[in-house]
Amino acid sequence: MYSVHFYGQMLADASRLNAYAAALRQAVSPDSVVMDLGCGPGIFALLACKFGARRIYAVEPENIVGLAREVAVANGFSDRIEFFEKLSTEITLPEPATIIISDLRGVLPWFEQNIPSIIDARERLLVRGGVLIPQRDILWASVVEAPEQYAEIVDPWRSQFDLDLAAGRRFVTNTWRKSRIKPEQLLTAPISWTTLDYYEVNSPDIHAEMSWQAARKGTAHGLAVWFDSELADGIRFSNHPAEPEMIYGIGFFPFSQPVELMEGEHVTLKVTADLVKDGYVWRWDTEVLRKASFKQSTLFGVPLSTNQLPKAVQ
């Protein structure tokens, strides 16, 4: 559950909010029926009213919906907005939406129930030929030199007070995290490794392969992953390292160990993200010919106690 403070940070992200507002303004007509999927404090619902939509259905299962109701009243839009305090998969709208707008992503689009929720809403709650905002997300990745980010992860698990804490390193290097990467940290040219088209996607999982050639000599510490979002025709934003920092940040997938790369050396990687209940299990397998071979997974990033394992497994 997000805090009100975090929702405020989302509102303060001008690149994000201005792009969404422009896409919604372009799509809305006086006959529009808009579904705000995961409305949070209700900013998209309010904008849909402001731009002239006939009816808005705002869906939000968390307590923040109370604030959304307040701001709807404060702006004189409560007569046009109907709130559903449930998961979108649990509701039926009084009429099909002509526009569905959402931002349920985390750092990356594969976050909790983001994709299943959009698929369900598209199939059940959107009129045939209706509009989805965003239309698609384009995923990018690059091998990066990130000594500070890597040290922040692994340095606490170096020996202290003559104590061996190295076991912790295995867990933290099997966990990816939100980070900020500068363009000069890229060791390879970014590659576009998949496009998530919300009009066509039918699986919440992703399996992909990618390869790069090092553009310069340097120490590879991991993989940086980000996305460009196409919200509507001609309206997009990007959290590329060279762009102004956005609320999403950039995903940093550390390697098990840093790897020295020479210009022209090849790095190959297989990445998967599989939805298990309400969370994703990520795996990233990296190969640098004759130098390194890593097999990492968030499954190995969580310490387990035998007392917490099911009895049948023990």
Q: Are 42 and 68 in contact (CB under 8 A)?
A: yes
CATH of 4-133, one of 3.40.50.261, 2.170.270.10, 3.90.1150.10, 3.40.50.150: 3.40.50.150
Percentage of the chain surpassing pLDDT 90?
94
What phi and psi values does residue 115 have, to the nearest 5 degrees? -70, -45
* Whole-number pLDDT of residue 312: 43
Q: What is the pLDDT of residue 309?
A: 58
pLDDT in tens, 48-63: 999 999 999 999 999 9
Per-residue DSSP letters for 4-72? Answer: HHHHHHHHH-HHHHHHHHHHHHHH--TT-EEEEET-TT-HHHHHHHHTT-SEEEEE--STTHHHHHHHH
Give me the CATH code for the 137-300 domain, please.
2.70.160.11
- Mode of pairing for the β-strands spanning 126-133 and 97-102: parallel
**Residue-range domain boundaries for the chain:** 4-133, 137-300
pTM score: 0.94
3-state helix, strand, coil in the chain (%, to 5): 25, 40, 35
Region of 28 (left: φ > 0; alpha: ψ -120 to 50; beta: rest) is beta
Pair 193, 142: CB distance under 8 Å: no
